[in-house]
Structures are given as structure tokens and as C-alpha cells.
Amino acid sequence: MGAVRRRSRSGNGAGVRENAAGFTGGSGPVGVLLCHGITGSPFSLRTFAEHLVEAGCRVALPLLPGHGTSWQQLSRTSWEDWFAVADGAFRALRRECDEVFVAGLSMGGALALRLAQVHGSDVRGIVLVNPSIGTADKRFLFLPLLSRVIPSLAGITDDIAKPGVTEHGYDRVPLRAVASMMELWAKVRVDLPKVEQPILMFRSETDHVVDPTSARLIHHKVASSEVTERLLTRSFHVATLDYDAEDIFTESVDFIERHSALREGSPPAPIEASDE
């Protein structure tokens, strides 16, 4: 069966930056939805997506609304907009596949967990890379108020140990979008006991964006019988573009194979994919 070609609504309209387009590819009965982080872009997960396609998965990596254009557009969106696109991509995969996994980087990890909470057993498993669902930084308590008077602050992209690598994100972070992300955090934290799926979580020992609070909350609050945490010692926050990337890709495929029919499935499809 040929590779899937599909376009999903990103909510951005025209003017998507080069290297920021969404991605769909692959075929077969096992699907994987990948979600990128706030102010980032699908580029941060593109190589991961291609690796999953080579392993035989059908993959969707949508561009979330407000991303891939300008931070001002991101400021006009909310977590509900981001979730709506992720949810639509998940539902499309679920119609096409027997089993679907969700994965996310940073804020994309919060979206992946929310999908697991909403869709229950329709989500077969969860892969998280430096997930963001909270922080110990007390300054965030003032951010919703601050967002009313200060539009943006310096960006949080490109926290990568490997020299010369970029994730093609924004150089400014809109505070209204961060305040909305905090609303998503709150919803995800409240419903963590609803998460029963197996989890593979990668956490960078040195992360200048997300502190260990999120990983601790996930460990202590989910109802999953299997939560495996892998500590990454060579990579910073955007680990999917960093020194440990290949380990993340390989171990994620092993995790998906252990929890699905991928190992017994069709031979891997060539990477014939569509940029969205």
C-alpha cells in the first residue's frame, strides 16, 4: 500500500516558514501522532517522524496553529486551538490504523497526555520527550497578569547542546500563548490519574526550558502500570535534534513494537510523504 498523502488544517493560512511545514507519511496498521512544542515547529520532530516511517508506522506530525509563521500569530491562538488540530490528526489516524500511539516534545507532551486522557484505550501508548505540564518557577504565577501588559519575551527555542543545530522556532515567546499553555497544564495535571497507557519518557539531565517538576508529576500521578524514564546525559531540551536523538528514535520504535502488532506487520514503507 502506498504512503498516505493528506493535508490537515493548521490554522495558520498562508505564509508558513520554510522548514516549518507539517508532515504525514508511511502506511500500515500502526499509527503515531507527533506533537511539537510551543514556539517550535514540526522540524524539531521531522527526523523522528521519518525514522518511524522507515520502521513501518503511519505518521502524522501537524503544524499547530500560530506556529511556523510569527509569534504575533501565536499570540492570537490558545491551547484549545492547538489541541483541536492534534485531536483531528489523531482521529484521522485512528480511522486508518488498528493501533495509534501519541508522542510529544515539551508542550507537545502535554497535548499527547491530554489525548490519552480524552481518548482512553484508543491511545495504545505514549512517548514523551522532556514533557512540559508544570514548573517550580514561581515567576510563572504572575505570568497571566503580566501577559496583559507585556506582549512577549526573549525566545526559548534552540536549547540544543549540539553546535550549529536549530529547530526553526520563534525568537520571541508571546506571553498570552504561555498563559494559555498554563491552562492546558492545569487540565492535564488534574486528569493524570486517567492516564493508564504505557509510557516511555525521555528526560534530559540538563534542560534549560523544562525543570524536573513535570516528570515527577507524571511518575507520581498517572495510573499507568508501565512508566519507563530514560535519562539523557548528552542533550538539552530539544533532544530530538541533539546528541541522543538516535537513541530516542530506536528506543521509541522498540517501545511501539512491544506494545503493538508492528513487529508482525507489513514491511516498512519508503518515505514518500507530504509536507503540509
Structural domain including 240 reads 23-267
Decide if 151 is inside a domain: yes
Distance (Å, whole) CA 41 – CA 38: 8
- Given the residues 159, 207, 242, 244, the one annotated as active site: 207
Decide if 117 is inside a domain: yes
CA angle 254, 21, 96 (to 5 degrees): 50
Cell of 180: 494559555
Distance (Å, whole) CA 60 – CA 273: 10
Distance (Å, whole) CA 168 – CA 172: 12
Cell numbers 480511522 label which residue?
95
- Given the residues 106, 147, 214, 235, the one annotated as active site: 106
C-beta of residue 50 within 8 angstroms of C-beta of residue 261: no
252 has catalytic annotation: no
Q: How many CB atoms lie within 10 A of CB 181?
A: 24
Decide if 67 is inside a domain: yes
C-beta of residue 129 within 8 angstroms of C-beta of residue 103: yes
Cell numbers 518511524 label which residue?
52
Distance (Å, whole) CA 175 – CA 267: 46
List CB contacts of 143: < 8 A, sequence separation 6 or more.
175, 178, 179, 182
Decide if 36 is inside a domain: yes
Total structural domains in the chain?
1
Decide if 276 is inside a domain: no
C-beta of residue 26 within 8 angstroms of C-beta of residue 264: no
Q: Tell me phi and psi for residue 2, to 5 degrees.
A: -70, 165
Decide if 188 is inside a domain: yes
The per-residue pLDDT for 18 is: 83
The CATH number of the domain holding residue 219 is: 3.40.50.1820
- Given the residues 36, 224, 237, 252, the one annotated as active site: 237
The per-residue pLDDT for 275 is: 63
Distance (Å, whole) CA 85 – CA 46: 17
DSSP at 261: S
Decide if 3 is inside a domain: no
Decide if 14 is inside a domain: no
Q: Average pLDDT of each block of 10 consecutive residues along the chain (276 residues)?
A: 37 70 95 97 97 97 97 97 98 97 98 98 98 92 87 92 95 95 97 98 97 96 97 98 98 96 56 54
| Torsion sign (Cα): 92, 27, 108, 258 | positive
Q: Which residues pair with 178 in a beta bridge?
A: none
Q: Classify residue 56 as left (phi > 0), alpha (psi -120 to 50) or beta.
A: left
Distance (Å, whole) CA 83 – CA 112: 9
Q: Residue 263 in 3-state DSSP?
A: helix
237 has catalytic annotation: yes
- The DSSP H or E segment spanning 109 is helix 107-119
The per-residue pLDDT for 17 is: 86
Distance (Å, whole) CA 251 – CA 158: 23
The per-residue pLDDT for 222 is: 98
